[in-house]
Amino acid sequence: MAVPKIGLIVVGDEILSGLRQDKHIPATIERLSARGLHLSWVQMVGDDREFLTETLKRSFASDHIVFSCGGIGGTPDDHTRQAAAQALGRPIVRHPGAVELIRQRCEESGQPLDEFRLRMADFPADASLIPNPYNRIAGFSVGRHHFVPGFPVMAWPMIEWVLDTIYPEFHHQELEYKKALLLFNTPEARITPVMEQLESSFPDCKLYSLPSVGDNKLARHIELGVKARGGVDKKDIVSQAFIELLKILESMQCKFELIV
């Protein structure tokens, strides 16, 4: 079974205004990488229900696994649950299991079980729960879309739970193989045709170029590499493409150093 693309939606005006710095992107990448998975795309969306609804309509139409962080609270600026329901064309319903978890939380904390707190049990119809180990206030899943709070202390373990409980069959199914070198005194324009030639000859591989202005330890250079994802057969393909890259650079009399 092929591993689906994995996307991340980060919701909140506070991120787009700079009031808070996003931490979800690197944290999600870290958690995916630990399981041999990769993040394919990210979208940041403000607290705009109409735009968030349109964003979710597009992602629901895909077969991607999508995590959405933020906007599932009960205040007027939280729109994610309503936008998800509208994008799916489903009603919002109060989930009995989520209500019970909120009731337990209120008993533990001595807080009243009021309507404001119960709003956080309202999800699109047929949603399932994502347990919240921090305060029991559940997130929710609909299909391959998984909605968690914006608070990192809650969101990140909830993302881990989804990955380990729902998608264990995808863990380490695709490995990434990479070989790279540091290329000196060569402009990107000169190596672009080389990259295109190798990608044509080795369609399973991707060539990448990361220029650097250098520093007091290393001169201006380009990290130039070959990479591919998949089974162990891709390791040999990457090696073949890299050997061909070395031959071409040597014929061009380029100065380079291998990255070990």
Architecture of domain 175-258: 2-Layer Sandwich (3.30)
| CATH 3.30.70 domain range(s) in the chain | 175-258
Alpha carbon 253 to its chain centroid, in Å, reads 40
| CATH 3.40.980.10 domain range(s) in the chain | 6-170
Give dist(CA 44, CA 112) in Å, integer: 34
Which residues pair with residue 209 across a beta bridge?
224
**Is the pLDDT at 230 greater than 90, yes or no?**
no
Nearest 5°: CA angle at 122, between 119 and 125?
170
pLDDT at 252: 96
pLDDT at 247: 97
For β-strands 139-142 and 206-212, DSSP reports them as unpaired
User: Which of the four pLDDT bands, split at 50, 70 and 90, describes residue 143?
Assistant: very high
For β-strands 139-142 and 175-184, DSSP reports them as unpaired
User: 6-170 belongs to which homologous superfamily?
Assistant: MoaB/Mog-like domain (3.40.980.10)
Q: Do residues 70 and 139 touch, judged by C-beta distance below 8 A? A: no
Task: Tell me the C-alpha to C-alpha distance, in Å, between residue 259 and each of 96, 158, 207.
Answer: 56, 37, 15
Q: How many CB atoms lie within 10 A of CB 91?
A: 10
Give dist(CA 183, CA 220) in Å, integer: 9
**Is the pLDDT at 216 greater than 80, yes or no?**
no
How confident is the model over 155-171, as pLDDT tens digits? Answer: 999 999 999 999 999 99
How confident is the model over 1-47, as pLDDT tens digits? Answer: 689 999 999 999 999 999 999 999 999 999 999 999 999 999 999 99
**Is the pLDDT at 73 greater than 80, yes or no?**
yes
For β-strands 128-130 and 175-184, DSSP reports them as unpaired
